[in-house]
């Protein structure tokens, strides 16, 4: 996690008066629940929902294996607030997300990445 994310978490913890739950998940493209081939070695990989408990955040790293990851997207369940604190390429074949659920109920977040087969 980067410095900005840690600052956001510390502020939220100070406001709530307690520590937030923190969890890290590591996924690979092999665990995708849906793969859409886009042609010329490109594909879109969708993953099963990840539960983010109330007032907590979850960091998720997705490893590309034999693919270079190009972009990442996410969507929270429900209509309440939810924030993606991190959404970036950690390396050519790795994408990193940090989802924060500031609400008082558990939520799910779904991830998808676009990737291209390595040459």
Q: Which residue segment(s) compose the domain that 86 sits in?
A: 21-117
Query: Is 11 among the domain residues?
Result: no
pTM of the model: 0.82
Sign of CA dihedral 80, 48, 29, 9: positive
**Interval 63-80: pLDDT, tens:** 998 999 999 999 998 888
Query: Is 60 among the domain residues?
Result: yes
How many structural domains are present in the chain?
A: 1
**Interval 90-104: pLDDT, tens:** 889 999 999 988 888
Whichever domain contains 76, its CATH number is: 2.60.120
Residue 111 in contact with residue 63, Cβ under 8 Å?
no
Query: Is 12 among the domain residues?
Result: no
Residue 94 in contact with residue 75, Cβ under 8 Å?
no
Query: Is 16 among the domain residues?
Result: no
**Interval 22-64: pLDDT, tens:** 788 999 999 999 999 999 999 999 999 999 998 888 999 999 9
């Amino acid at each position: 996690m980067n410095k900005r994310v840690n600052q956001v978490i510390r502020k939220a913890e100070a406001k709530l008066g307690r520590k937030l739950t923190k969890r890290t998940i590591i996924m690979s493209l092999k665990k995708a629940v849906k793969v859409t081939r886009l042609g010329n070695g490109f594909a879109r990989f969708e993953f099963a929902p990840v539960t983010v408990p109330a007032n907590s955040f979850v960091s998720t790293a997705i490893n590309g294996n034999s693919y270079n990851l190009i972009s990442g997207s996410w969507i929270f369940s429900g209509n309440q607030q939810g924030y993606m604190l991190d959404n970036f390429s950690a390396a050519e074949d790795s994408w990193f997300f940090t989802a924060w659920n500031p609400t008082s109920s558990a939520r799910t977040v779904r991830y998808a990445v676009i990737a291209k087969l390595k040459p």
